[in-house]
């Protein structure tokens, strides 16, 4: 997913502020779900389902700067009954060197009860097809 770095994303030196990377990663996870046919607002309203970040590990490797174009890649590394592990990376638009990496454990939660729940079968099935991950493994 391409992203342009705006002035509001940067510190006084024109470097992307560390917390803004989390916003970029969140947008990319949302777009990844959207790209396979799932809107988060519809999941909340129709399936009582939201996804909540349980933990993240971030590595800040090189700075992104004001007005640069970066690309966020998103991959699901593990798919379990009630959670997913995402690996994400931000690179310059025309480069393969990572600027920032993130591993996120994302839990499926009931929107009404705010308690863990199984990921809906329709999502598991679609993710298994699009990622090739064996959902019986964990």
Pair type for strands 69-79 and 2-4:
antiparallel
Domain range spanning residue 26?
2-137
Contact 115, 67 (CB under 8 A): no
- Of 11, 47, 48, 96, which is the active-site residue? 11
pLDDT tens across the length of the chain (138 residues) = 999 999 999 999 999 999 999 999 999 999 999 999 999 999 999 999 999 999 999 999 999 999 999 999 999 999 999 999 999 999 999 888 999 999 999 999 999 999 999 999 999 999 888 888 766 544
Query: Where does residue 7 fall: left (phi above 0), alpha (psi -120 to 50 degrees), or beta otherwise?
Result: alpha
Nearest to residue 50, comparing CAs of 40, 63, 38, 60? 40
Whether residue 11 lies in the annotated active site: yes
Describe the chain by its helix, strand, coil percentages, rounded to 5.
Answer: 30, 40, 30
Q: What is the pLDDT of residue 131?
A: 81
The per-residue pLDDT for 137 is: 45
Sign of the dihedral defined by the CA atoms of residues 111, 120, 39, 19, in that order: positive
Alpha-carbon dihedral sign for residues 69, 37, 20, 57: negative
CATH number for the domain harbouring residue 126? 3.10.129.10
Per the CB < 8 A criterion, the answer to whether 62 and 99 are in contact is yes
| Rounded Cα gap, residues 37 and 123, in angstroms | 9
pLDDT at 114 (0 to 100): 96
Q: How many domains does the chain have?
A: 1
């Amino acid at each position: 997913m391409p992203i342009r770095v705006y002035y509001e994303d940067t510190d006084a030196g024109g470097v992307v502020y560390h917390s803004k990377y989390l916003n970029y990663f969140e947008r990319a996870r949302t777009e990844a779900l959207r790209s396979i046919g799932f809107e988060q607002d519809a999941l909340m309203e129709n399936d009582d389902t939201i996804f909540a970040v349980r933990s993240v590990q971030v590595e800040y490797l090189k700075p992104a700067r004001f007005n640069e174009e970066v690309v966020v890649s998103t991959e699901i590394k593990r798919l379990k009954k009630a959670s997913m592990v995402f690996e994400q990376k931000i690179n310059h638009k025309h480069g393969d060197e990572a600027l920032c990496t993130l591993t996120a454990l994302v839990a499926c939660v009931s929107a009404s009860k705010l308690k863990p729940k199984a990921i809906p079968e329709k999502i598991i099935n679609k993710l298994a097809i699009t990622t090739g991950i064996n959902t019986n493994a964990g």
